Structure 1
Amino acid sequence: MNFLSHYYFDKSNDDANVVLGTVLPDLIKNASKEANLYPQKNEFLFLGNPDEESLLRGWKRHLAVDLLFHSSNFFLEKTTELKLLIKPIVEDTAVRPSFLAHIGLELLLDHLLIEHNLIQVNHFYDKLSAVKQESLGDFLTHCGLKDQSVFFKFMEGFISSKYLLSYQKLENISYALNRICMRLWPETLNEKQLAALTFQLGIFKETLEKDFMEIFDEISDQLSAS
C-alpha cells in the first residue's frame, strides 16, 4: 500500500511517532533504495525510549498491513484486471504491465481515500512534522542507517511539497507512475501513452470505486484480531 492507505489505519492515532512509523519504510526506500533496515529484528535496541518504541510499533504495523494487502484476493484480482487494461499501452516499452498495475492500484486507493474524504492529507503531514528529529535520528542510528543526511533532506522535501495532494487528479497519478518507471527503465512513456494510461485508470477507477473499501475493512478486521 502507498502512504495514505497506510495512514488510513492510524488516522485517529494521536501518537505522531506511530503515524510516521507506518510510512517510514517507504520513506527510507524512496530516499535511498540501497537502504535495507530491519529494526523489528533487534527490538531491544529501542526499549526505554518511548518515541523510538512508537516508531518501531508503527514500522511493524506497516509490515503487517503490506503483508495482508499483498496476500489478499483483492490485490490479486484488481492487479490482474488493471494489468489487462494497461498492457496494450506499454507493449512496445520495457515497462512491465504487472509492475505498473501493482503501483497503479496502490495510488488509486490513495486517490479514492482523498476523494471520498476518508482521510485528511494535511493532517497526515501535520503528524509527520510533529515528530522530533532527534528521536527519529536516534531511531535511524539504532536501525544502522549511518548517513542520515540524504534521508532527512528527502523527508524535508516530502513534507514541504505536500506532493500527495496531487493524487486528487488522475493525470497526476499517471505522471507519478511514469516517474517511478524512470527509476527502473531508461525508456519512459510518451505523452500519448500517458494520456492513454490516464484514460484506462479512469475506466478502472469506476469499477474499483464500487468495492475499494472492502480491502480496508478486511485489513482493519485482521489487525484488530491479531
Structure 2
Amino acid sequence: MNFLSHYYFDRSNNDANVVMGTVLPDLVKNASKEANLYPQKNEFLFFGNPDEEALLNGWKRHLSVDLLFHSSTFFFEKTTELKLLIKPILEGTPVRPSFLAHIGLELLLDHLLIEHNLIQVNHFYDKLTAVKRESLSNFLEHCRLKDESVFFKFLDGFISSKYLLSYQKLENISYALNRICMRLWPKTLSENQLAALTLQLEIFKIILEKDFMDIFNDIEKKLI
C-alpha cells in the first residue's frame, strides 16, 4: 500500500511517532533504494525510549499491512483487472504491465480515500512534522542507516511539497506512475500514452470504487 493507505489505519492515532513509523519503510526506500533496514529483528535496541518504541511499532504495523494486502484476493483480482486495461498502452515499451498495475492500484486507493473524505492529507503531514528529529535520527542510527543526510533531505522535501495532495487528480497519478517507471526503465511513456493511461485509470476507478473499502475493512479486522 502507498503512504495514505497506510496512514488510514492510524488516522486517529495521536502519537506522531507511530504515524511516522507506518510510512517510514517507504520513506527510507524512496530516499535511498539501496537502504535495507530491519529494526524488527533487533527490537531490544529501541527499548527504553518511548519515541523510538513508537516508531518501531509503526514500522511493524507497516509490515503487517503490506503482508495482508499483498496476500489478499482483492490485490490479486484488482491488479489482474487493471493489468488487462493498461497492457495495450504499454506495447513497445519495457514497462511491465503487472508492475504498473500493482503501483497503479495502490495510488488509486490513496486517491479514493481522499475523494471520499476518509482521511485528511494535511493532518497526515502535520503528524510527520510533529516528530522530533532527534528521536527519528536516533532510531535510524540504531537501524544503521548509512547516510541520514540523504534521508532527511528527502523527508524535508516530501513534507514541504505536500505532493500527495496531487493524487486528487487522476492525471497526476499517471504522471507519478511514469516517474516511478523512470527509476527502472529509461524510456518514459509519451504524452499520448499518458493520456491513454489516465483514461484507463478513470475506467478502472469506477470499478474499484464499488468495493475499495473491503480491503481496508478486512485488514483493519486482522491487525493486532
- The TM tier, using the shorter chain, reads over 0.9
Amino acid at match of 2:60: K
Segments of 4+ in structure 1 off by > 6 A?
none
What secondary structure is seen at the aligned counterpart in 1 of 2:118? coil
Within 1, Cα distance between the matches of 2:161 and 2:185? 26
Amino acid at match of 1:211: D
- Report the counterpart of residue 166 of structure 2 in structure 1: 166
Within 1, Cα distance between the matches of 2:73 and 2:152? 37
Question: CA offset at residue 131 of structure 1?
Answer: 0.1
Amino acid at match of 2:209: E
Aligned pairs (5 A) from 1:27-66: 27-66=27-66
- Report the counterpart of residue 96 of structure 2 in structure 1: 96
Within 2, Cα distance between the matches of 1:96 and 1:122? 33
Amino acid at match of 1:81: E
**1:199 to 2:199 alignment:** yes
Question: CA offset at residue 55 of structure 1?
Answer: 0.1
Aligned pairs (5 A) from 1:1-226: 1-223=1-223, 226=224
Count how many residue pairs are aligned between Structure 1 and Structure 2: 224
Question: CA offset at residue 202 of structure 1?
Answer: 0.1
What secondary structure is seen at the aligned counterpart in 2 of 1:51? helix
Aligned-pair identity in percent equals 84
TM-score by length of 1: 0.99
Within 2, Cα distance between the matches of 1:29 and 1:211? 30
Cα RMSD over matched residues?
A: 0.4
Within 1, Cα distance between the matches of 2:91 and 2:99? 13
Within 1, Cα distance between the matches of 2:205 and 2:220? 22
Within 2, Cα distance between the matches of 1:146 and 1:174? 33
Question: CA offset at residue 146 of structure 1?
Answer: 2.5
Within 2, Cα distance between the matches of 1:194 and 1:137? 39
TM-score by length of 2: 1.00
Unaligned runs of 5+ in 2: none
Question: CA offset at residue 147 of structure 1?
Answer: 1.3
Within 1, Cα distance between the matches of 2:26 and 2:83? 23
Within 2, Cα distance between the matches of 1:145 and 1:177? 27
Question: CA offset at residue 87 of structure 1?
Answer: 0.1
Amino acid at match of 1:213: M
Within 1, Cα distance between the matches of 2:189 and 2:145? 34
Within 2, Cα distance between the matches of 1:214 and 1:91? 32
Unaligned runs of 5+ in 1: none
